[in-house]
Every structure is written in C-alpha cells, then in structure tokens.
Chains A and B, each alone.
Chain A
C-alpha cells in the first residue's frame, strides 16, 4: 500500500506518528490477520 503524505516543510513527530498510525490501522482494517490483534505500530 502506498500513500502520499501531504506536502509540507516540517511536521511534528506527533503528527507524523498519527499519520503513519492511521495508515497502518487502515491497512489492518483492510487486511485483518493474527498480527492485527497484537500489533504495535512501529516507526522506522
């Protein structure tokens, strides 16, 4: 799944984490599986 983030110069880590978390949660919603029950959203 590839998503484009909104263009901006700087973004606080909290907002970036929210953005990534939103995409991961959406992915888990569309692709339910064993991992989704115990996952933690990781940044890297």
Chain B
C-alpha cells in the first residue's frame, strides 16, 4: 500500500473530523475547503504511543513566518473520548456556495488541545465555569484570521441505534 493510500485510510479511521462529520464529509472538508487533498497530508506522532496529528503545508500564498509553519489538518482520535457527531454546514443557495465555498479558502480547524498534549476538548464543567486556561496556547492568539466577524454554526446529528438480540 502506498503512503498516500495509507494516510487516506488513517484519516478515515482515526481522523477527528471523520468521526465528527463522516469519512466522506471529512475528505470533502480537507480537499474542498482547506484545499489540502489527502496526497498532501502527512501524519506525525511525537512519541510512539501518541495518536498523532495530520498536517500539511499551507496552500500557496497562505504561508506564514511563524515557527509552526505547517497546518494541523486533523487529529487522530484514539483514546481521546467521545466525539459528538455533527453535520457539516452546507450552503443551501448556489450564491452561498459561490461565496462561502468556491471562492473561499478556509484556515485550518482550531482544536482545543490540553496542555498535556493528550486531552482534546473542553469538559462541560470547565466550560460552565469559564475555565479555558488548561488549553495549550491559551494565551496565544487564536488563528481566526482578521475578518470583521465570525459565525458559529452548531449542527447536531441524531443517532439511531439498532439493537439486535440473538
């Protein structure tokens, strides 16, 4: 199996976005919105037991001078707890598709990673208490770009569970 195919399968099986959206939607997100197809994505683990991160060089024109030059495209989710499934936002009007998808280049996702580098997400108790200082890079600027506003869209997908008894 070549490395490209291997990364693609890793993204489908372990990728956080594949767990959150679906493998197909995650692939579309990487390729269409981030403009980083799986052939451009690499995987790295700082220690052998770490689930690792998927990264890629930014698209041409979006490179930065920061030390962490590469984009974190996705995180592997092994042993990181429950991933709440969501539906990826999709434009309903062709004009919105043109404006927000075809003519836009998204920046990479912002993951809430704990300072220990292992935990992912913000526990509800911390969120309710407004305690977000346990996040890695809490004091650093969030990479939300310099746009005048941001929109938070929350989609929830319901799951149907079928239990079969022998």
Q: Give A contacts to B, CB under 8 Å.
A: 1-7, 9-25, 27, 31, 33, 35, 38-44
Contact = CB atoms under 8 A, between A and B. Distances in A.
B156 A31 contact: yes
Nearest to B126: A21
A27 B122 CA distance: 15
Report whether over half of chain A's contact residues are helix, strand or loop; otherwise say mixed.
Answer: mixed
Contacts of B120: 40, 42
B127 A23 contact: no
A21 B127 CA distance: 6
Given A25-B128, A43-B111, A13 B135 contact: yes
A18 to B, nearest CB: 5
A25 B140 contact: no
24 contacts: A1-B154, A2-B152, A2-B153, A7-B148, A7-B149, A9-B146, A11-B142, A12-B138, A15-B132, A16-B144, A17-B112, A18-B130, A22-B127, A23-B152, A24-B154, A25-B124, A38-B82, A40-B82, A40-B122, A41-B122, A42-B112, A43-B110, A44-B16, A44-B109
A35 B83 CA distance: 10
A21 B144 CA distance: 16
B139 interface: yes
Contacts of B146: 9-10
Contacts of B156: 27, 31, 33, 35
